[in-house]
Amino acid sequence: MIDVRSRRGVLRGIALGAAAYSVPGLFADHLMQTAAMMEGPFYPDKLPLDTDNDLLIINDKATPALGEITYLTGRILSTTGEPIRNAFVEIWQVDANASYLHTKGVNPKGHDGNFQGYGRFLTDSKGQYHFRTIKPVPYTLGGVFRTPHIHYGVSKNGKRIYTTQVHIRGHELNAQDSLLKRIKDPKEMETVLTDFKPLPGSKMGELTASFDIVMGKTLHELEDGRLGIGKPQGGA
């Protein structure tokens, strides 16, 4: 049985470690804005019962999801490096069977019933977020091929303010992805790529990945701190 307290402790530790190196040039005058990418049609049409930041365990089940365990961390920032606190970060992705948590996003193998498929997290005072999930896999749904990626939605004051996707740097299928081909500037392309690296000392082959989202402008929360869940906007 998995020790829930232990895995949550690891999540916190990974997040703290990632903060030290996740933003090259953090104190530079200007950071390059992360390329915005469409939300796509497969935002969950029914949220799971468990919506925390650990996508591998649903309601403390003993059986984890299939796939390569990945500790995904990063920060939400302004272009001047200012951390965006209390940002509502959502991620969603296909499971190891290449199926989304969506009625129209299921492959013939069906769902991995132990994979949450969706998670959310409220950034802290340093703009940090952290998730435990799986390394993304490629899929073809509705005749559309996608290279491995994870969707991000960022909301503030009850409104969706940013959507993007993170992809595996150097993956051989990236060149075949129609959405990535739309990004012509190599520097802009780098803003939606990251490395999935082995977690030092892990005996289970776990991975770490760090992905910072740089917003186009500084945001200020309302006094009541209202936050909300984003809604699908269409796309691929």
* Of 132, 151, 167, 171, catalytic: 151
For the record, the structure tokens of 225 come out as 């701190």
Is 129 one of the catalytic residues?
Answer: no
- The kind and range of the H/E element at 190 are helix 186-190
Residue 132 pairs with which residues in a beta bridge? 54, 71
Is 102 one of the catalytic residues?
Answer: no
* Of 43, 100, 118, 129, catalytic: 100
Q: Quick check: helix, strand or coil at residue 178?
A: coil
Q: Are 97 and 109 in contact (CB under 8 A)?
A: yes
Is 21 one of the catalytic residues?
Answer: no
For residue 106, the one-letter residue type is V
* Of 139, 152, 160, 167, catalytic: 139
Is 139 one of the catalytic residues?
Answer: yes
C-alpha span between 92 and 178 (Å, rounded): 19
Is 151 one of the catalytic residues?
Answer: yes
Instruction: Provide CB contacts within 8 A for 6, sequence distance 6+.
Output: none
Q: Are 199 and 208 in contact (CB under 8 A)?
A: yes
3-state helix, strand, coil in the chain (%, to 5): 10, 25, 60
* Of 102, 120, 132, 149, catalytic: 149
* Of 130, 146, 160, 171, catalytic: 146
Q: Catalytic positions, please?
A: 100, 139, 146, 149, 151
